[in-house]
Amino acid sequence: MAGTDLIVPVSEVMREVAHTTILPGYGTAAAMEKSPGDLVTEADRASEAELTRRLPELLPGSRVVGEEAAHADPGILTGLGSGVVWVVDPLDGTNNYAAGSGPFAMMVALVRDDHCVSGWILDPLADVLWVAESGAGSWQGGRQVIVHPRQPRPAADLTGHASVSGLGDTAAARIAERGDRFASLTPGPRCAGAEYPAVIAGDLDFCVFGRTQPWDHLPGVLFAEEAGGRARRPDGAHYRASDCARPGLLLARDHHTFDEVQGVLFPGPVRQCGG
């Protein structure tokens, strides 16, 4: 399987589905709570159903794991680390979408035997697509995205987002206590699909994520790492689909920033989140 052969057709499918099932309901779609504070709309379900139908047609023998399907039946996550799997977030940032504001995104990752080989992040409103392929770099609009080296900066000069839900009380309390060591540390927009490109572009320096569901992070982690950024567990371990139940993920524009933020928020033996 040559991942490059799939970049264009998957991009086309995502744009078509966004145009037909997501954009028509922007700001008007009825939203329901699937868990406290977590909304779902018919656009989420319809776009996931369409992607679930169409993506395996591009790669016979593959299967799809979507966010909404996994919410209904967590058992479909079993075996996520083996075989060829499409991991789909049909609408990241549903709360923003339902409110008629941004950001929101559609994300797709192609995983082979627990290794993310390709990733796509689409901003439907702006029609901007970011793609990445393992070993072949990160791209946006035909332009390769590369993080250019810069001088290391202290925490006091860094701006970031932190979503602490799922981290555990100790790690969350540490972030709250030490947040004032940064130039800015805010909760963020509840849309990882917008935060990964923002960090790599230099609009932000870092993000901390508590919950690490594969549909929220596989495409972004690949995009960041292929561009020269760093997206790892707070202890430095690589993020993999099969350990998605483990909390904690740190995204930084470069390895110097990663080390600086890690040292402030996840020092010493408590770098393993959840404690």
Neighbours of 59 (CB within 10 A): 17
Spatial contact of 131 and 138, defined as CB atoms under 8 Å apart? yes
Measured CA to CA, the distance from residue 183 to residue 257 in angstroms comes to 13
Going from the C-alpha of 162 to that of each of 176, 191, 199, 208, the distances in angstroms are 9, 12, 13, 5
What are the domain boundaries of the chain?
4-145, 155-271
Q: How many CA atoms lie within 13 A of 220 on its CB side?
A: 33
pLDDT score for 118: 97
Over its C-alpha atoms, the chain yields an Rg (Å, rounded) of 18
For residues 7 and 12, what is the distance between their CA atoms, to the nearest angstrom? 9
CB neighbourhood size of 84 (10 A): 16
Q: How far apart are CA 141 and CA 219, in angstroms?
A: 16
Distances (CA, A) of 251 to 4, 8, 34: 25, 27, 27
d(CA 137, CA 227): 6
> Could you identify the residue written with the tokens 């839900």?
165
Cα–Cα distance measured from residue 175 to residue 169, given in angstroms and rounded to the nearest whole number: 10
Phi, psi (degrees; rounded to nearest 5) at 218: -55, -50
Query: What is the predicted pLDDT for the residue at 267?
Result: 87
CATH of span 4-145: 3.30.540.10
CA 271 from chain center: how many Å? 21
For residue 52, how many other CB atoms are within 10 A of its CB?
A: 18
Q: What is the pTM of this model?
A: 0.94
Task: Output phi, psi for 48, to 5 deg.
Answer: -65, -40
Q: What is the pLDDT of residue 270?
A: 38
What is the DSSP-derived secondary structure letter of residue 25? G
CATH classification code of 155-271: 3.40.190.80
Pairing of strands 184-186, 159-163: parallel
Could you say which residues of the chain have pLDDT below 70? 1-4, 268-275
- Taking the C-alpha atoms of residue 57 and residue 38, their distance in angstroms, rounded to an integer, is 31
Decide: 39 and 30 in contact? Cβ < 8 Å: no
Query: Do the beta carbons of residue 43 and residue 32 sit within 8 Å?
Result: no
